[in-house]
């Protein structure tokens, strides 16, 4: 969909919040990025529970996330998961979520190096 996205594997035994969309912070290397995070089954395009996952759309990030090790902190619940009637409606909603997060957390990464 055009958003830099980290598909996060959750280790067995680690609890995650209920399915839905959250605001979060993602640590990549030594920088923390604001993110829109989807937890669980993506209801619009998933066929079965095997598709359940955790994905974070990083705001302001322009690098390649493939194979990157990331850490995630949830900061705020935004909305429940829901089925969209079209891809355009889904994209518009995700963009609205990202705008909300930008206003709350900004759109720049913050280095944690000394």
Q: Is residue 10 part of a domain?
A: yes
Nearest C-alpha neighbor of 53 from the set 37, 41, 36: 41
Q: Is residue 113 part of a domain?
A: no
Q: Is residue 77 part of a domain?
A: yes
Q: Which CATH number goes with the domain that contains 82?
A: 2.40.30.30
Q: Is residue 112 part of a domain?
A: no
pTM (whole model) above 0.75: yes
Q: Is residue 41 part of a domain?
A: yes
Quote the pLDDT of residue 109. 94
- Mean per-residue pLDDT of the chain: 87
pLDDT in tens, 42-89: 665 555 555 457 889 999 999 888 888 899 999 999 999 888 999 899
Task: Report how far apart, in Å, the C-alpha atoms of 36 and of each of 47, 63, 66, 103, 105 are.
Answer: 23, 17, 18, 12, 11
Number of structural domains in the chain: 1
Q: Is residue 45 part of a domain?
A: yes
**Whole domain around residue 21: which residue ranges?**
5-106
Q: Is residue 114 part of a domain?
A: no
Q: Is residue 71 part of a domain?
A: yes
């Amino acid at each position: 969909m055009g958003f830099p996205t980290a598909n996060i594997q959750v280790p067995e035994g680690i609890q995650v919040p209920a399915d839905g969309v959250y605001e979060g912070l993602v640590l990549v290397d030594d920088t923390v990025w604001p993110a829109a995070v989807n937890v669980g089954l993506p209801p619009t395009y998933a066929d079965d529970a095997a598709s359940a996952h955790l994905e974070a759309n990083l705001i302001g990030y322009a690098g390649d996330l493939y194979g990157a090790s990331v850490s995630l902190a949830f900061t705020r619940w935004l909305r429940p998961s829901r089925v969209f009637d079209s891809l355009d409606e889904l994209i518009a909603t995700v963009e609205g979520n990202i705008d909300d997060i930008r206003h709350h957390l900004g759109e720049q990464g913050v280095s944690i190096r000394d």
